[in-house]
Amino acid sequence: MMARASLVLLLLFFVIQVYAQPFSFLRKLSATSQEGSWLWGWVWGAESSVSVVDRSPPLTFRSRPAAFGRELKEPLLGYVIPLSSFTTSCPGNDTSPVDRHSNSGCPKLCICGPHQPDPSESWIALVQRGQCSFVDKVRESQRLGARAVVIGGQDPDISGQPDMLVNMYSTGDASDVEIASTYITWSDYKELSLLIRSSTTSHAGLQTLSLLITTQYSAWEWYSPILTFIVILILPSCLTFVTLLIHRIRMARAAQRDRAPENVVKGFPWRVWNGTAWEKHEGTTTHGAHSIGAHDADLESGPSDHSASSPSTSHEALSHAPIPWCESQAECAICLSEFVKGDCVRELPCHHIFHLEEVDSWLINRKKLCPVCKADVTRPWHLSQANKPRAAPANEQGSDSDAISSSVITPPVTELTPLLRDRSGSTGS
C-alpha cells in the first residue's frame, strides 16, 4: 500500500511540473545528445503538421519537430521559400564545382540574384536533408532571417534509407538556435517543392506558398507513447488493487453474514448459578448481572415470605416435570471450566449454556453457530435442526424395523414369485 501511495504522489508531482512548464527539462536534455533526442521524440511522440493554406481544402503533411531550437506553442504562419531559389554555396578556396540546384542549405550560403525575402516578413525556409547536420542547416536559415525551417527527407533510391519521419537532434551545444524546425518525408518534400514551382503566389519576387506549421497533437493525447507506457505500467496495478479491494469487501460481507446480530444475542435468556440451582433471567443483561454480591445477600437471607408461603405448589408441579438436560451441564464448552457459584451463563435456543461474556463474544465477533451442536442461533430451533440427520435410539430402531416388517404385506405365491427376496424388497434369482 505504501508503494502504491508513493507512486501516486510521484505521478501527481510529475503532472504538476508538466502543467507548470510542459517538458522543458526534456527539451534541455535532448538538445545536445542523440539519446536525449530519442527520449524527447518518444515522449513527445506526437507529430506536428505542415499545411498549405493556399488550397481549399488545405493540404496537410505530417512532420516531426526537432529536439533543439524553439518549441512551437502557437501555430506559425509564413511564406515557405526554398533557400536554393535565392542562395548558393559560397565559393571556397578549392576549385570544386558548386551544385547550384542543391537545396541542402549547408553553410555557408551567399545571396544570388536580385530577389531575397523581406526580413520584416515572416517566411519559412525549405531545405533538404544531406551534406551537413540538421543544426547547421537551421543555423544558416536563422542567419538568413527565416522564422522557421522545414527540412525534407532524401530520395530513398539514392540514400538507401526508408522514407519516414526521423528525430532531428544536435550532437553539440544548440542553445544558440532560436527558431523552430520540423522534418517531413521525401515524398511530402517533393510534392511541396512542385507546388511551390507551380504557384502563382510570390513574395519579394520569389515563388512561394502560405504555410502553416502547428503542433497538431498534444503530448498528453491518448495516442502518445508516454501515456501508453504509463497505462501499461499502472493498469495492472490498478486492476490488482481493485480486485483485492473487491475480495476484501466480499470477505467482510461474508464474515458479517456469519456473525450474529448483537441485539439477537442480547435477547437470549441468561442464568445465574447460585450453588444449588440455576436462576433464569429473560431479556438483556445489566451491569449488575456479572456481580453477584446483591444476589448472594438474597440467598443468605433466605426466601421471602411470598415465596415461602407457596413453595409446595411449584415444587409439586416441578417434581413431576423432567429436569431440562441443559441444567445438567457442569462446565463451559468454550473455556472448559466448571461453573461455580455466581457464574452468569447464556442459554442458546439449542439449550446449550456457556459463560455469558465468552459466548456473546463468539456469536457477535466470530460465528453465529453454537460451539457444541453448530446450530444457527439466528434461526428458530426447529428450522436449524430440520436438515440435520438424527440418529434414532436402538430401541426405536428395533421397533421401527418390527413395524416395517409387520407392515409389509406378503403377496400370494404364484408362478412369477421369485425364489429369493432381499430385505429392501428387490428380487433376485
Q: How many Cα neighbours within 13 Å face the side chain of 198?
A: 8
Instruction: Decide: 27 and 33 in contact? Cβ < 8 Å.
Output: no
CA distance 100 to 114: 16
Hey, what domains does the chain have and what are their CATH numbers? 29-90+99-219 (3.50.30.30), 261-284+329-388 (3.30.40.10)
Instruction: Decide: 132 and 149 in contact? Cβ < 8 Å.
Output: no
Residue with cell 473455556: 335
Mean pLDDT for 344-354 is 87
CA distance 87 to 109: 6
Q: How confident is the model at residue 273 (pLDDT cuts 50, 70, 90)?
A: confident
Instruction: Decide: 49 and 61 in contact? Cβ < 8 Å.
Output: yes
> b/e string for 50-79 if b means 16 or more Cβ within 10 A?
bbbeeeeeebbbbbbbbbbbbebeeebbbb
In this model, does residue 318 exceed pLDDT 50? Answer: no
Q: What pLDDT is recorded for position 243?
A: 94
Name which of 99, 76, 80 is nearest 89 in CA terms.
Answer: 99
CA 306 to chain centre: 73
In this model, does residue 330 exceed pLDDT 60? Answer: yes
In tens, the pLDDT along 29-53 reads: 444 444 444 444 444 445 788 888 8
Q: Who wins on pLDDT, 186 or 310?
A: 186
| % of the chain surpassing 70 pLDDT | 62
Instruction: Decide: 248 and 241 in contact? Cβ < 8 Å.
Output: no
